[in-house]
Amino acid sequence: MAIDPRRIEVIDDASAEVMRRMSPAQKWEMANRMYIQARQMLMCHLRSEHPEWTEGELREQVNRRVGHGAA
């Protein structure tokens, strides 16, 4: 598969085929799991960078960063 430098996303042909065969519900579930995992990873990172922050402050920062201020 040729890589187009104008695109950030790169997926191999086999992975693309697997995703093409997924139902919309399966794709939604996969995206939701990725979102939850990203939030958890950010929470862990912020907790290690700012041990003085409370759980509430951590959640607020995760919401702000993930939600672009929407949460």
Please give the average pLDDT of every successive group of 10 residues along the chain, which has 71 residues. Answer: 70 92 96 96 97 96 83 48
* Residue 20 domain-assigned (yes or no): no
* Residue 11 domain-assigned (yes or no): no
pLDDT of residue 6: 75
Is residue 29 within 8 Å of residue 41, measured between CB atoms?
no
Query: Residue 67 is encoded by which pair of tokens?
Result: 């939600």
Is residue 1 within 8 Å of residue 12, measured between CB atoms?
yes
Is residue 36 within 8 Å of residue 29, measured between CB atoms?
no
pLDDT of residue 68: 75
Domain count, the chain: 1
What are the CA-CA distances from residue 50 to residues 34, 58, 61, 62, 66 (Å)? 24, 9, 11, 13, 17
* Residue 15 domain-assigned (yes or no): no
pLDDT of residue 49: 97
pTM for this structure?
0.71
